[in-house]
């Protein structure tokens, strides 16, 4: 390319710039994004400075909502549960999805059929699946445990504040694994088979092949899966609504559920909007840090 050999005085040639029409083509998307995303976001930030109940009259209260947030132990409880849940689920979903993806990428029978089956959870509505799991946990599992004489499972795990979160993890991981499997499969298919052939000739064990070839080669896919899963699990909502409704007590109340409950049912729209604004920044910060750390690891091999 001629531009590469240009001297320091040479300016970028006009054709290197994107033609104006490209910008015009982006405009509709930008407008839609602004109308449906940026404007509501800014409206929310505005209302977080008021005592708006969601209806009726309101006045400005400055930063008092934010100050009150820091003294609210119910919010700390929700943060504690959400982070515990999100970290456990992210680790579990990535281990499971990667294992299944590797299995599905191998030379097995009915490969396409299995891939289809493992993708099904992703297209089902979480709410509907959640009510099915709810029934299974509350009725089927205790009945089976009763018949088999497993006393520890004869009461529904959703019925105890100590174990209800496990039920939420099981449903969420089951549902989220499908999408992660697809991404890992896409990643696995980018690895040239020659690498494995060469490794096999050198006598590398399957585990060695995994740690030295497979995992490093899909580093970028691992990063994206980790970041997306953690972000999605931090926003957990449907799973909890259909499974435990935040209960028993408030033991599985996630931050999203608390914002929705307090804001819409509790008539504290302004206060919970402030909570949502803070949570937005928390999620952005976590995703950013995660991306930086994981990408550095990616580059190092």
CB of 155 to another protein, least distance (A): 6
Could you tell me which of 283, 99, 226, 97 has the C-alpha nearest to residue 174?
Answer: 97
Shortest distance, CB of residue 152 to another protein, whole angstroms? 14
- CA distance linking residue 240 with residue 190, whole number of Å: 37
How far is 15 from 200, CA to CA, in rounded Å? 49
* Closest to another protein by CB, 89 or 156: 156
What residues are paired with 60 via a beta bridge? Answer: 50
Closest distance of CB 129 from another protein, Å:
18
Measure CA of the first residue to CA of the last residue in the chain; give whole Å.
31
Minimum CB distance to another protein, residue 136 (Å): 11
Instruction: Copy the structure tokens of residue 198.
Output: 């060469």
Min. distance of Cβ 79 from another protein in angstroms?
Answer: 16
Which pair of structure tokens corresponds to residue 72? 């609210």
Quote the least distance from Cβ 297 to another protein, whole Å.
41
Which residues bind to another protein, rule: CB under 8 A?
51, 53-59, 61, 64-65, 68, 71-74, 138-139, 142, 154-156, 158-161, 245-251, 253, 261-262, 264-269, 271
Give the residue with the Cβ less far from another protein, 78 or 98.
78
CA distance 61 to 38: 23
CA torsion sign, 209 to 213 to 216 to 218? negative
- Our CB check for another protein shows the closer of 153 and 217 to be 153
Q: Residue 152 and residue 60: Cα distance in Å, rounded?
A: 53
Q: Which is nearer to another protein, 53 or 220 (CB)?
A: 53
Smaller CB separation from another protein, 216 or 247 = 247
- Residue closer to another protein (CB basis): 33 or 60: 60
Residues 64, 262: Cα–Cα separation, whole Å: 17
């Amino acid at each position: 390319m001629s531009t590469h050999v240009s001297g320091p005085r040479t300016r970028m040639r006009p054709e290197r710039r994107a033609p104006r029409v490209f910008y015009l083509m982006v405009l509709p998307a930008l407008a839609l994004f602004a109308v449906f995303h940026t404007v509501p976001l800014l409206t929310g930030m505005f209302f977080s400075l008021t005592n708006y109940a969601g209806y009726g009259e309101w006045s400005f209260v400055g930063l008092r909502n934010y100050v009150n947030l820091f003294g609210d132990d119910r919010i700390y409880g929700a943060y504690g549960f959400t982070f515990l849940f999100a970290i456990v689920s992210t680790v579990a979903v990535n281990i499971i999805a990667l294992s299944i993806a590797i299995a599905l990428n191998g030379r097995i029978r009915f490969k396409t059929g299995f891939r289809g089956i493992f993708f099904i959870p992703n297209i089902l509505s979480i709410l509907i699946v959640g009510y099915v799991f709810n029934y299974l946990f509350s009725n089927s599992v205790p009945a089976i445990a009763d018949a088999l004489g497993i006393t520890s499972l004869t009461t529904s795990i959703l019925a105890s504040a100590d174990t209800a979160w496990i039920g939420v993890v099981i449903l969420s991981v089951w549902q989220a694994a499908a999408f992660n499997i697809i991404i890992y499969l896409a990643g696995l298919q980018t690895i040239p088979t020659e690498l494995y052939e060469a490794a096999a000739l050198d006598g590398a064990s399957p585990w060695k092949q995994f740690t030295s070839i497979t995992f490093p080669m899909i580093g970028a896919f691992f990063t994206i899966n980790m970041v997306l899963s953690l972000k999605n699990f931090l926003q957990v909502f449907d799973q909890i609504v259909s499974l435990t409704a935040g209960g028993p007590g408030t033991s599985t109340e996630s931050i999203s559920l608390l914002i929705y409950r307090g804001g819409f049912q509790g008539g504290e729209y302004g206060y919970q909007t402030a909570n949502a604004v803070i949570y937005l920044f928390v999620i952005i910060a976590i995703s950013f840090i995660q991306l930086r750390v994981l990408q550095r690891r990616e580059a190092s091999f």
